[in-house]
Amino acid sequence: VNAPQSAILGMHKIQDRPVVVNGQIVVRPMMYLAVSYDHRIIDGREAVQFLVAIKDCLEDPGRMLLGL
């Protein structure tokens, strides 16, 4: 993170990956997200809440677009 930035969001490409759903291994599209931030400016709890909000929006774009 370089000044004057306080955080950087990294979004990797979407790839099919094996995951366990209801005890079964299935293939699902997955994308890694990462956030780097200046701990002097941003509290870790707030950074995690931001990352979870981004994840929720990406998993359910209709909710984000319709404001549900």
pTM reported for the whole predicted model: 0.73
Q: Give pLDDT, residue 52.
A: 94
Residue 68's pLDDT is 66
Residue with tokens 């931030």: 37
Please state the domain extents for the chain. Answer: 7-66
Distance of CA 49 to the CA centre of its chain: 10
- Is residue 43 annotated as part of the catalytic site, yes or no? yes
39 part of the active site? yes
Catalytic one of 12, 43, 56, 60: 43
pLDDT in tens, the chain (68 residues): 888 889 999 999 999 999 999 999 999 999 999 999 999 999 999 999 999 999 998 888 888 888 76
Q: Find the catalytic residue in 12, 16, 38, 39.
A: 39
Q: Which two tokens stand for residue 46?
A: 């707030």
